[in-house]
Each structure stands twice: as C-alpha cells, then as structure tokens.
Amino acid sequence: MAIREGCWDCGSCGSVANRGRAVNCPRCGLPRPEGTRFYLPEDAPEVTDEAQLARARAGADWVCEHCAASASAQEADCPGCGAPRGASGTQEVHDYGPDEIPRDGGDRRAAARAAAALPAKRRSPWTGRGVLAAIAAMLWWFLAPHEVSAVVDAKSWNRTLEVQAYRTVRESDWAVPAGGREVRSYRAIREYRQVLDHYESRERQVSERVQTGTRTYTCGTRDLGNGHFEDRTCTEPEYETRYRTERYQEPIYRQEPVYATKHDYDIERWVRDTVLAAAGEADEPAEPADPAWPVTQLRERQREGERTEKYVLRFRDEDGDTYESPVALDQFQKLRVGAPVRIKVSRAGSVELLQE
C-alpha cells in the first residue's frame, strides 16, 4: 500500500505546508503540538525511501509529557529533554474515505459557516421556480374571468317528457323472474373455464451472475499520526453475467365451455314508448317565452316517465359580442329580453351571471 508524506501548519507563527515528518516548525522552531491536523495535498508523491517508510510504519508520533516535544515512535527518549517516553500521549490516527481526505490545513467547518453567511447569489427569474411562476401567471391571465356589462339579448328553452307503455316483452336469463312466463328452455354456454390439456417442451435463455474473482481497490486513506498517509485498500467480488439454455415444460390450457339451462320468457315491463318535446325562444322584450311541458294524451297502460329541461340566456355586451349560458328556471323567468345584467366572462368562454 502506497505511503505519502503529508503536511501541517504551525499555529504559532503561521508557517504552512511544513513537511509531515518535521517535529519542529522550520520557521519558529517550536515543537509540533499534540492534536496537530495533518493534511495530504493532491500532488503529494509516494514515499520510496526505506528509512522514511520505516519511520512512517513505526506508528504514531508521541508528545513528551514533560516538555511537549514531539518524537517519532522509533525513539524511546524525548529528543527535546531526554526524558523517557513513559506515559506520553500520541497523535491520533484517522481513517478517511475517498472524499474525506483533508487537502489543506484550514478548518472546513469554519469555511462552510463563512460561505453560508455570504449573501445568496441573485438568481435569474427565468430559471427554476421563476419559469414555473411565469407560466402560472400566464395561465391565470388567460383563464381569469373579468366582469362585463351586458343586456339579455335572447332567451330559449326546451323540455322533454318521456311516455312509457306497459307492454309484454321477451327476455332471456338463467332463471325466470317472478311474473315471467316461460316460452322455452335450452342448454347454452354460460361461461368458459381453463382446463389443463397437455405440456409442451420449450427452451429459454437464463442469465445468472457468477463470481469470477475479487478486485482490490483504494477505498480511502489512513492518517498514521506521524505526518504520513497510507492508502487503505478494500476488496470486492467481481461478477460476470453468463447465459445458459434451459429446457422446461410449458402447460397448455384449453377453454372448456360450461353449460347451463337458459330460459326465454315473456314478462310485462314499463318501456319507453315515445319522447315528447316542447321548445320556445324570444328575442324581443314583449315576447315572454314562458316554458311549458309537452301536452300528453295518455292512453290505457301508459304513464309519464323521465322529464328533462334546459333554459338558456344569450347576453350581448357593449361591443356587440354575445355569450350564452344555461340558467336556473327562476332566473330565466325573471329576466326579460333587454334587461341589463353584469356577467363574469373567462377568456376560455365560460359565463357566470352576477346580478339581475
């Protein structure tokens, strides 16, 4: 695994990019303190010198409990005061993922806080939410209704009335209902069900993932606590997709009819006989256009059925444009031709009567 020498910054005099192995600041001469943050520049070369590699692999540096001088793990006595190592503490060892390796001696959290304190960059109104807002505003402008002064230009109405007759009709079903008189019965297919008929041999391509070996890759870096960084390696299995031909038996089904007794029968029902219609319109103030239902002359075994009605007012504004809108019966009867009204018109063409 490759080992590279990192750097550290002196917090006393501000000297930066000091060699990782240096236990004293080259500018002010003060010892490298415990808790020093080591970092690994992008272009740090791999260490090949055997003596330096031995120092890097010896373990984390220790800091003298007597004079605070920093010493290599290879040294049993403090190079500053000569005291034995004893219970002196060591620099911490850190493991970093590929995207976590420190590349400078600054405090990234402080930089992040400083960046967050900066004023947000002004964004163009025509990006992201600005575009959506502009589209919404255009749709609102196009669809939003506006009030218009108008007069009732014309009125029209139509009404329909269904006439039903009580007649004998012929129907078919799997049972004769109450009141029905059977005409005939016969065997008929009521449904189909799937029945296994046989199996047929088939072939198909089947894929499977097969492990072909393992791959070793650099998955991070370890800060050795002595100014050096060592690549961390991980392994993972490697696979390839292989195909094979598989034979199988496919079930073949047939649709088998299920028979039952069906009945034709006569029965009395109310059925539609005819639909009567009435309509009227008025475009002059003197014409009332009063709605009326169609006149019926019911015969024996007849009755009235469903009724439908529709009332429409046509409006004309000051520019001569006309609009139509269905209205309720009470509005239709109250408003005469020529009556002034206020309507709300959308650009899509819908009309709403505001006042009479």
Domain range list for the chain: 1-121, 151-165+273-355
Angle at 341 between CA 340 and CA 344, to 5 degrees: 150
**According to the model, what pLDDT value does residue 124 have?**
52
Give the per-residue pLDDT at 346: 80
3-class secondary-structure state, position 96: strand
User: Reduced to 3 states, what is the DSSP secondary structure of residue 240?
Assistant: strand
Q: For the CA atoms of 240, 245, 248, 252, what is the dihedral angle to 10 degrees?
A: 110
Q: Cα 252 from chain centroid?
A: 42
pLDDT of residue 111: 39
Two tokens at 264? 């034709």
Asked if 70 contacts 61 with a C-beta cutoff of 8 angstroms, the reply is yes
* Beta bridge partners of residue 259, listed in sequence order: 189
What is the chain's pLDDT, residue by residue, as a tens digit (356 residues)? Answer: 899 999 999 999 999 999 999 999 999 999 999 999 999 999 999 999 999 999 999 999 999 999 999 999 999 999 989 999 999 999 999 999 999 999 998 744 343 344 444 444 444 554 556 677 777 766 766 667 788 899 999 999 999 999 999 999 999 999 999 999 999 999 999 999 999 999 999 999 999 999 999 999 999 999 999 999 999 999 999 999 999 999 999 999 999 999 999 999 999 999 999 999 999 998 887 776 689 999 999 999 999 999 999 999 999 999 899 999 999 999 999 999 999 999 888 877 688 888 65
Select from 37, 42, 40, 41 the least CA-distant residue to 106. 37
Cα 355 to the center of its chain, rounded Å = 45
